[in-house]
Amino acid sequence: MHVLILGGDGFCGWPTALHLSSRGWDVTIVDNLSRRNIDNELEAESLTPIRPAGQRLAAWQELTGREIAFHRFDVAENYHRLLTLLSETKPDASCISPSSAPRPTP
Ligand SMILES: NC(=O)c1ccc[n+]([C@@H]2O[C@H](COP(=O)([O-])OP(=O)(O)OC[C@H]3O[C@@H](n4cnc5c(N)ncnc54)[C@H](O)[C@@H]3O)[C@@H](O)[C@H]2O)c1
């Protein structure tokens, strides 16, 4: 089974990715890393260190032998890239992290 997790680098998405990967799902994450950029702009840090996405993915592969695919792009702006990814990977399920869901502009 294959799952696509939009916002998969975030608070909800990352543990979801690890949980499903540990249960044998093939996991693909899409994230534009905007959450990390906001922290950088605000010069704010999490109380518990959050490693760069590449390091987390590599650590997971080293620990479990399982690969989590990662695509960095904005799902609100790159519709065709998302569509291509969906048609190429044909996921059985998708999860949308709440904060990555497109919002109407005021
Ligand atoms: N330490 C904590 O207690 C803590 C930490 C983070 C979040 N939270 C709470 O949990 C809530 C839910 O967490 P969450 O996982 O939805 O939030 P999140 O901000 O942690 O994760 C959302 C992810 O989506 C990505 N993203 C946002 N817009 C995107 C876009 N257009 N395209 C691609 N990727 C995009 C972000 O980079 C981020 O990685 C948060 O709103 C917050 O209230 C709590």
The answer to whether residues 69 and 91 touch, using CB atoms and an 8 Å cutoff, is no
Residue nearest to atom 26 of ligand 1 (CA): 100
- Tens of pLDDT, residue by residue over 38-89, are 988 999 888 888 999 999 999 999 999 999 999 999 999 999 999 999 999 9
Contact 33 CB / ligand 1 (< 6 Å): yes
Residue nearest to atom 9 of ligand 1 (CA): 11
Domain ranges within the chain, ordered by starting residue: 2-100
Atom of ligand 1 nearest to the CA of 47: 1
Of the options 3.40.50.920, 3.90.1150.10, 1.10.10.10, 3.40.50.720, the CATH number for the domain spanning 2-100: 3.40.50.720
- Tens of pLDDT, residue by residue over 2-30, are 999 999 999 999 999 999 999 999 999 99
Q: 33: which residues sit within 8 A by CB, 6+ positions away?
A: 9, 53, 72
Query: What is the distance, to the nearest Å, from the Cα of residue 10 to the centroid of all Cα atoms in its chain?
Result: 7
